[in-house]
Structure 1
Amino acid sequence: MNLEQYDIAQQLREKLTEVEEESIRLQEGKRGSSAKSEAQDKGISIIRLRADLQNAIDSEDYGLAAKLRDEISKLEAESLAVSAKALAFENAEYAFRLGQKLRHKTFGYRAVVCGMDPICCESSSWMEAAEVEKLPRGSNQPFYQVLVDARTHPDLVVAYVAEDNLLAPEKPDKERFDHPYISFLYYGADTAGDFIPVKQLREKYNRPRHEVPFDSQEED
């Protein structure tokens, strides 16, 4: 094994380790539960601060009371944002599924889904550079991590793409798909040509196993 092959193998091992670690974390709760726990923690903090505020008012320490009111207002705003995020993860509806082969509407490259978020989870600077707000649904739509077919775009390995920019093929895509992560994240391809995600990947995103509909015409 030469140095280049060793580096590629090491990257793949690290990728698999990431998936396994995330799977272990999700055994304690479904995806989005961390946001829910954070919202609960902030709620408890708000209750405590309100008790402190009442004590400050009772003792006529109005300077402290003013500071506590400001802190409570800040926590309430943060709690609302975190609760909204947790709700988004719980109620997320995706047009595409793990392992599904897609095509980018603008750039035309073939891709396969390896991850998903109910909303854009990138930084504001990334969204600005990607002109996310110009999309029909902006940042408040599912975004997908996709592996890019090396044959259609050799310089792009993984992409983060809005649902608005992805298109499912009209007919099953059974063409060859080249990517170094395929064997680590999928068991293989199903009869429709899409990839079957490994158990760890499905658990990471709390997605059910997809069953390919039986087509009786294929048996004729």
Structure 2
Amino acid sequence: MQGVSVSSLAALASGGSCRAVSLFKDYLKLLNRSGINPMVDGSCFGRQCMLRLYSINTNRARRLDSRIGATWLFSGGGKKMDASIERSEATNEEIVVFFFQLDLETRIQYALNTEQFDVAQQLRNKLNEVETEIIKQQEAKRGSSRSEAQDKALNLLRLRADLQKAIDNEKYVVAAKLRDEISKLEVESLAASAKALAYENAQYAYRLGEKVRHKIFGYRAVICGMDPICCESSSWMGIANVEKLSQGPNQPFYQVLVDVHDDPNLLVAYVAEENLSATEKPDLTRFDHPYVSFLFYGTDTTGDFIPIKQLREKFSRPRHEVPSMDTQDGNEDDNI
């Protein structure tokens, strides 16, 4: 059986949608040769996900990207800006890998249920590769983990000890170089510690599955992911003009699915917390997006979406319980 290599998955993290489409093709070979089709009526989870994810023509996406740059240069700003400036290929590809992981888990269980143990083992090996690569991508996305901050702190101690030895031995040229290295590393260490602290103590105004509205562009969206700080590339932040935000990149950023009726070309965006607002009243109106059936069970009584367990675990978010609607009635009974 032929599968997807780790290098193919690694390309997803830094490449565009073309590389993800290449992964999709390799994955189809894996599915076709495995002979496993656990979904009802012959439908394939992975096929549906990928076909929906890449239904937008790549050339059209490139034209939109070109238009983004012109928008920032020549528009007057504010509501005249193009919402596509917040389109995120990285977020889109992260969802692809998440779908891929879910589908492999489903197929492994199906293979075990049908006693196809050899196939299940081969699929499990592929799942291990995918999960390993996901961990690497998460660490790269986080940028500065606690271990990195600790490593920089240890390097500082070592450099300071070397500096003292150089001074004691009257090697002042070496001491000057070490002093410059220490100054640079102190800045990096402070930034690493700040980012690690941000990940550990992140506070979010919005939750997974919550319906929100963009303050500038006005479209409706639903939260499908979150980061304590902006984890996009510097080039993306330049296009999105993140430095002009009142809180800059050091605020929560959300992966959102955009209602196709509001903007059929955007689909997935990466939005700063300050640019989102919650609905004042329960939003029970229809929300259409090709990804919602895979990421959410459905909607609750307030109209917000209910995230699947795997999505909550991915972002370490607790299950949201809808407040009881009969609290007020109970108070009235007490008063009576």
What is the TM-score of this pair, normalised by structure 1? Answer: 0.81
| 1:60-98 Cα distance to aligned partner (Å, 9 max, x none) | 332222222211111111000111111222222221111
In 2, the alpha carbon distance for the partners of 1:90 and 1:140 equals 14
Q: Once superposed, what is the RMSD of the aligned Cα atoms?
A: 3.4
Give runs of aligned pairs for residues 42-191 of structure 1, distance below 5 A: 42-191=152-301
In 2, the alpha carbon distance for the partners of 1:33 and 1:206 equals 18
In 2, the alpha carbon distance for the partners of 1:109 and 1:72 equals 48
Tell me the secondary structure at the aligned position of residue 257 of structure 2: strand
Identity of matched residues, %: 64
Distance 1:202 1:53, change over 3 A: same
1:200 aligns with 2:310: yes
In 2, the alpha carbon distance for the partners of 1:15 and 1:214 equals 33
In 2, the alpha carbon distance for the partners of 1:64 and 1:200 equals 53
- Higher RCO (Cα < 8 Å, 6 or more apart): 1
* Greater mean deviation of Cα atoms: 166-175 or 120-129: 120-129
1:14 to 97, 100, 108: 97
Give ranges in structure 1 of 5+ residues lacking alignment. Answer: none
Tell me the secondary structure at the aligned position of residue 250 of structure 2: coil
Q: Which amino acid aligns with 1:69?
A: R
Give ranges in structure 2 of 5+ residues lacking alignment. Answer: 1-42, 55-94, 103-129, 331-336
Tell me the secondary structure at the aligned position of residue 122 of structure 1: coil
Question: Larger radius of gyration, structure 1 or 2?
Answer: 2
Give 1 or 2: higher strand fraction.
1
Instruction: Report how many residues are paired.
Output: 215
Name the counterpart of 2:26: none
Offset at 1:216? 1.1
Distance 1:151 1:173, change over 3 A: same
In 2, the alpha carbon distance for the partners of 1:175 and 1:218 equals 25
Counterpart contact for 2:49–2:291, Cα < 8 Å: no
Give runs of aligned pairs for residues 25-44 of structure 1, distance below 5 A: 25=135, 35-44=145-154
Offset at 1:145? 1.0
Counterpart contact for 2:230–2:250, Cα < 8 Å: yes
| 1:24-82 Cα distance to aligned partner (Å, 9 max, x none) | 749xx9x9695211100100111112222222233333222222221111111100011
Distance 1:21 1:212, change over 3 A: farther
Counterpart contact for 2:144–2:195, Cα < 8 Å: no
In 2, the alpha carbon distance for the partners of 1:136 and 1:45 equals 34
Tell me the secondary structure at the aligned position of residue 167 of structure 1: strand
Tell me the secondary structure at the aligned position of residue 174 of structure 2: helix
In 2, the alpha carbon distance for the partners of 1:8 and 1:34 equals 34
